[in-house]
Amino acid sequence: MEEQKENRPLHKAGCEEEELCRTLKNLELSGRVKERSLSDGQEDLGNYSAKSSASDFSDPVYKEIAFTNGCVNRMSKDELKATLTELKLDTRGVKDILSKRLKNYYKKQKLKEPSCNKNYYDYICVIDFEATCEEGNAPDYIHEIIEFPIVLINARTMEIEDTFQQYVKPEIKPKLSEFCINLTGITQEVVDKADPFVVVLQSAVDWMRQKELGTKFKYAILTDGSWDMSKFLNMQCHISCLKYPRFAKKWINIRKSYGNFYKVPRNQTKLTMMLEKLGMSYDGRLHCGLDDSKNIARIAIRMLQDGCELRVNERMNAGQLMTVSGSMAFEGAAIPHNPQRKK
Ligand SMILES: [Mg+2]
């Protein structure tokens, strides 16, 4: 039994550190680990944690991680799946995603990082608005929010804990286009019965307060792209004569996070594409705001499980969309406050 274990190749090696080191050493001696492995590892380590710095790469642990990454890079998809199965990790997704998942697993083992970062958000709120639209609408078309969903992810348990959903009555163009009804599945009757945006925003704020977001719990907003906040919410606040809410001033754009983490080009980060690459399919009705939010949440959860620390990467500043870098990234969103009228 022990002998068999000893002779297992790297991809069957499991998580035992000693065994992995021994296998890596053997691979190094047999010349299978080439120069490239180190640079692969460095690239991956660069955005990994605050511990990383130029001098870290001389650290034997980082060298070991770099060697491991090189070995993982040379595994076939079947080998990656076999290793992930042994480690009881998810085996769904395209090869690059499996490779990233395995590298992160070994990296965390080597760095002995605690599985949860105390400074990390307790909750992530996924928001995917649905808005009025027409077929081929002009770039200056005035979109009004007609559905306000929130999906609450517990970032510690990595589970969806609760959801919020309310429809909104549009004020400028109360009649929905056929295109909009077919796209979103939201009927005229539903919006006719709904409350105006200011009332729905108040309900969303009350719901978030009940969850003690921004008070007891640190949280971040997460969206699929920049438009939900920078375009739809911004525009809706103008229409409803409201100040832009402070809690929505910064957020995680999951498309950016996904592209950076899995090294996927930005044109391949549409919701259905992101799901597909992760080996999942869309669950529910596409363009139903709540279903979209739940599916975005599934992607976010998978990214957290794969070791990605989703962090704030965009914000609004004086009505303009801005990129957020390092220092602000782990600041939680503001306490939700009641909608405020513009003076
Ligand atoms: Mg949507």
Averaged pLDDT in 10-residue chunks for the chain of 343 residues: 33 42 43 33 37 56 84 91 90 92 85 69 98 93 97 97 98 97 98 98 98 97 97 97 97 96 93 97 98 98 94 93 81 94 88
pLDDT the model gives residue 199: 98
- What is the 248 CA–ligand 1 centroid distance (Å)? 17
pLDDT the model gives residue 108: 81
Q: Which one of 11, 144, 147, 287 is the catalytic residue?
A: 287
Q: Do 186 and 146 form a contact (C-beta atoms < 8 A)? A: yes
Distance (Å, rounded) from C-alpha 177 to C-alpha 141?
13
What is the rounded (10 degree) CA torsion for 183, 187, 188, 194?
-110
Q: Which one of 130, 147, 309, 314 is the catalytic residue?
A: 130
Q: Do 297 and 154 form a contact (C-beta atoms < 8 A)? A: no
- Is 130 marked active-site? yes
- What is the 293 CA–ligand 1 centroid distance (Å)? 7
pLDDT the model gives residue 322: 94
pLDDT the model gives residue 259: 96
- What is the 84 CA–ligand 1 centroid distance (Å)? 33
Question: Quick one: tokens of 224?
Answer: 């699929």
Predicted structure pTM score: 0.79
pLDDT the model gives residue 5: 33
- What is the 291 CA–ligand 1 centroid distance (Å)? 8
Q: If you search the block for the tokens 């004020």, which residue do you land on?
A: 171
- What is the 96 CA–ligand 1 centroid distance (Å)? 27
Q: Do 167 and 191 form a contact (C-beta atoms < 8 A)? A: yes
- What is the 287 CA–ligand 1 centroid distance (Å)? 4
Q: Do 257 and 308 form a contact (C-beta atoms < 8 A)? A: yes
- Please report, for residues 17, 38, 63, 66, 76, the alpha-carbon distance to residue 24 in angstroms, rounded to integers and kept in the order given: 10, 13, 11, 10, 17
Half-sphere exposure of 52 (CA within 13 A, CB side): 14
- Is 143 marked active-site? no
Distance (Å, rounded) from C-alpha 159 to C-alpha 151?
10
pLDDT the model gives residue 57: 60
- What is the 111 CA–ligand 1 centroid distance (Å)? 38
Q: Which residues sit with Cβ closer than 5 angstroms to ligand 1, an ion?
A: 128, 292
- What is the 144 CA–ligand 1 centroid distance (Å)? 13
